[in-house]
Chain A
């Protein structure tokens, strides 16, 4: 066993970040506790719920199933990076508000990050594709219908 610290050098929402951390620090805890970006939520910590999903070099991954040190040299995006300016929302966030795509909001950050990457690849998705893309994110409030509606709305507006 060793408590030697390792260097983490990464960018988060475009800003350069450097910290010394324990190797065992999960990326999810690094984002929340070291950087204070608490929009990334932690649900199950074993890769099932999807609440901690962030973009790593543009690709959605579970922040609870990576170590912070593995983010070195990568570009991270979290939900805090979506809104273009204070008081304004990302089109995806607007669509979620307008279509009632959230209730308690716990799962929402992970869903937004997953859908951001999904819509970039699938600008005109069918409902089955949307549901497949959402399959890795658990929501216990909405029954998913309004989330699917919100993604459709965001896609429509984006075209």
Chain B
């Protein structure tokens, strides 16, 4: 199918883009990579009256560090996340998850911030930024605010963004010392949505014992699901109880729950091992 007609606005500046969005609200959509939005428009599941194209804006694709935290701008594409040495050093979990996101051609165009604002609970990156305790920098003509990842994802394709707001940057806090991370998923085919995916973060104390461990899962509920793990051995059971995975033609809920347990055990073991090496 073909998209319904819309008005096209090539944003000339961030202020121009925000003003256009403030003017039209829900009827307008920002166009960054468009790798989720355009398919939805091709199927006419989405029929925005106006598209505000951000692709001509300079400096929105920054990947930089500030005060030890990693900041990734609205137009930074998945391929950049996959390959940028700053991401590999400051947020290896994000780099590890990136190759699982769709296909190379999609990753050449799709953006991290666009993916997060789309808030597909089956997608990898929302779970990853939740596991890492990221913050979202949100702007509108009214000003700027920061939203924590745990407040950002509200439901299927639903976020804390107001109709006039744009996610302009995501900030990943510095990874604490003696911390290891791991991302694992099971998908039917390479590049497909995961049946379930697991991101783990394990931090050791100075005594070498586990000080904190958390697991975030994709395709395990209506939002990415975060589980603070009490003890590593009990984590698979804790995770199986905490999630409410979808049930559809690709897999039963029971199978996804089983997978979530298995992947949790493996990804925690890998993160623990990496934390030991980081010590």
Known: A65-B35, A114-B104. A136 touches B6 (CB 8 A): no
Q: Using a CB-CB cutoff of 8 Å, which residues 45-100 of chain A contact chain B?
A: 45-47, 50, 53, 59-62, 64-67, 69-70
Known: A2-B5, A2-B6, A24-B2. A135 touches B104 (CB 8 A): yes
Which residues of B sit under 8 angstroms from A132, Cβ to Cβ? Answer: 99, 104, 190
CA distance A70 to B32 in the complex (A): 11
Say which residue of A66, A70, A135 sits within 8 Å of B191 (CB atoms): A135
Count B-side interface residues using an 8 Å CB cutoff: 31
Q: How far is the CB of B187 from chain A (nearest CB, A)?
A: 11
Closest residue of B by beta carbon distance from A131: B190
Residue in A6, A26, A136 with the greatest tally of chain B CB atoms within 10 Å: A136
A46 touching B42, Cβ below 8 Å: yes
Q: How far is the CB of B30 from chain A (nearest CB, A)?
A: 13
B2 touching A26, Cβ below 8 Å: yes
Q: How far is the CB of A51 from chain B (nearest CB, A)?
A: 11
Which residues of B sit under 8 angstroms from A1, Cβ to Cβ? Answer: 4-7, 49
The answer to whether the Cβ of B118 comes within 8 Å of any Cβ in the partner chain is no
The answer to whether the Cβ of B253 comes within 8 Å of any Cβ in the partner chain is no
CA distance A4 to B49 in the complex (A): 13
Count A-side interface residues using an 8 Å CB cutoff: 32
The answer to whether the Cβ of A18 comes within 8 Å of any Cβ in the partner chain is no
Known: A66-B34, A136-B103. A59 touches B42 (CB 8 A): no
Closest residue of B by beta carbon distance from A5: B8
Say which residue of A2, A23, A70, A114 sits within 8 Å of B105 (CB atoms): A114
B104 touching A26, Cβ below 8 Å: no
The answer to whether the Cβ of B108 comes within 8 Å of any Cβ in the partner chain is yes
A64 touching B42, Cβ below 8 Å: yes
Q: Using a CB-CB cutoff of 8 Å, which residues 20-40 of chain A contact chain B?
A: 22-24, 26, 29
The answer to whether the Cβ of A119 comes within 8 Å of any Cβ in the partner chain is no
A61 touching B108, Cβ below 8 Å: yes
B interface, over-half SS:
loop
The answer to whether the Cβ of B150 comes within 8 Å of any Cβ in the partner chain is no
Which residues of A sit under 8 angstroms from B41, Cβ to Cβ? Answer: 24
B34 touching A2, Cβ below 8 Å: no
CA distance A65 to B190 in the complex (A): 20
B49 touching A69, Cβ below 8 Å: no
CA distance A32 to B26 in the complex (A): 33
Known: A136-B102, A136-B103. A24 touches B190 (CB 8 A): no
A3 touching B5, Cβ below 8 Å: yes
Say which residue of A59, A65, A137 sits within 8 Å of B38 (CB atoms): A65
Say which residue of A24, A60, A69 sits within 8 Å of B3 (CB atoms): A24
Say which residue of A22, A26, A47, A61 sits within 8 Å of B5 (CB atoms): A22
CA distance A8 to B2 in the complex (A): 19
A24 touching B108, Cβ below 8 Å: no
The answer to whether the Cβ of B55 comes within 8 Å of any Cβ in the partner chain is yes
Q: How far is the CB of A55 from chain B (nearest CB, A)?
A: 10
CA distance A26 to B38 in the complex (A): 9
A4 touching B35, Cβ below 8 Å: no
6 A-B pairs besides A61-B105, A64-B42, A65-B106 with CB distance below 8 A are A2-B7, A23-B51, A45-B42, A67-B51, A69-B53, A133-B104
* B interface residues (Cβ-Cβ under 8 A, vs A): 1-8, 10, 34-35, 38-39, 41-43, 49, 51, 53, 55, 99, 102-106, 108-109, 189-191
What are 21 of the A-B contact pairs (CB < 8 Å)? A1-B4, A1-B7, A1-B49, A23-B5, A23-B6, A24-B2, A24-B41, A26-B2, A46-B39, A46-B43, A47-B105, A59-B108, A61-B105, A61-B108, A66-B109, A69-B10, A132-B104, A132-B190, A133-B104, A136-B104, A137-B103
A-B pairs, 3 with minimum CB distance: A136-B103, A23-B8, A46-B39
